[in-house]
């Protein structure tokens, strides 16, 4: 009997939403891209400071540092989201996501090879329809690669410090089915959701999985990981295509 299940946007269970990178979206950034992933849109911009954080100097740690900030613009959701500056602090979700972005990108490069400088990665969500953190990581790697390319062209770096490309994707269990790359409607209905970050070598950087309504089994976890790893292979190819066209 044929499966009559239809996803919210008509995709196959293992199909990514349409993905596009628009590089150079922020001319004053060292590297930038607008990642459009389904109806989710995130601007990723990279700036470089020729210094390192004070704690690195105090602890006499060599090399450089990379850090990230993430925010959702007030008009990115159906109901206006107040700016963090209006509240006087960054909300817990944004803190969690920006730390995740930072960890993911630090795993992509050799900090020893970027010199005594700090790389700032800013990810601003223009429109949210699920997967903003995975879009931010995937787009941020493209923006970072463009910034590093510029540093090499300016002869500020001798070699490219990228160790492996990095990308991220979501997956989840919706109506007992394992689905790749959840849009908002699916994410809201998911009984299990998972965010996966891996590198081009197939190594895990982060696995965030939780049961929203119930526990999940080994077989469900394996199915989600298989979907996620296959999706990330597609994302890595899309990143390289975007960098080749720039």
3-state secondary structure of 144: helix
Per DSSP, the three-state class of 26 is coil
SS (H, E, C) 93-138: HHHHHHHHHHHHHHCCECHHHHCCCEEEEEEEEEECCCCHHHHHHH
pLDDT at 246: 65
The whole-number pLDDT of residue 4 equals: 64
- Write down the pLDDT at residue 43: 98
- Decide: helix, strand or coil at residue 199: strand
Q: How far apart are the first and last CA of the chain?
A: 47
Q: What is the predicted pLDDT for the residue at 21?
A: 98
Q: Cα separation of 177 and 181, whole Å?
A: 13
* Contact between 122 and 3 (Cβ < 8 Å): no
- Closest C-alpha among 149, 172, 148, 158 to residue 231: 172
- Give domain limits for the chain: 19-245
The token pair at 37 is 């992933």
pLDDT of amino acid 93:
84
pTM of structure = 0.93
pLDDT along the chain (246 residues), means of 10: 71 97 96 98 97 94 96 85 73 91 98 96 96 98 98 95 98 95 94 96 95 88 97 98 90
For the domain 19-245, what is the CATH superfamily, name and number?
A: GHMP Kinase, N-terminal domain (3.30.230.70)
């Amino acid at each position: 009997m044929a499966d009559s299940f239809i996803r919210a946007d008509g995709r196959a269970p293992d199909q990514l939403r349409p993905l596009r990178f628009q590089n150079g979206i922020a001319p004053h950034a060292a590297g930038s891209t607008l990642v459009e992933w389904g109806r989710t849109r995130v601007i990723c911009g990279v700036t470089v400071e020729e210094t390192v954080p004070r704690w690195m100097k105090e602890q006499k740690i060599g090399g450089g540092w990379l850090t990230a900030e993430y925010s959702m613009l007030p008009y990115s959701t159906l109901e206006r989201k107040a700016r963090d500056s209006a509240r006087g602090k960054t909300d817990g979700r944004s803190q969690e996501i920006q730390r995740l972005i930072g960890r993911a990108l630090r795993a992509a490069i050799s900090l020893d090879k970027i010199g005594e400088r700090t790389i700032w990665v800013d990810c601003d969500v223009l429109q949210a329809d699920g997967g903003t953190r995975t879009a931010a990581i995937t787009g941020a790697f493209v923006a970072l690669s463009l910034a590093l390319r510029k540093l090499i062209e300016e002869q500020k770096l001798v070699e490219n410090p990228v160790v492996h490309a990095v990308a991220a994707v979501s997956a989840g269990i919706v109506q007992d089915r394992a689905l790749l790359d959840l849009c908002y409607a699916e994410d809201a209905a998911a009984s299990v959701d998972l965010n996966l970050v891996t590198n081009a070598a197939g190594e895990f950087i982060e696995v965030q999985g939780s049961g929203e309504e119930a526990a999940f089994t080994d077989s469900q976890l394996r199915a989600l990981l298989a979907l996620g790893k296959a999706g990330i292979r597609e994302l890595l190819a899309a990143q390289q295509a975007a960098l080749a066209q720039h």
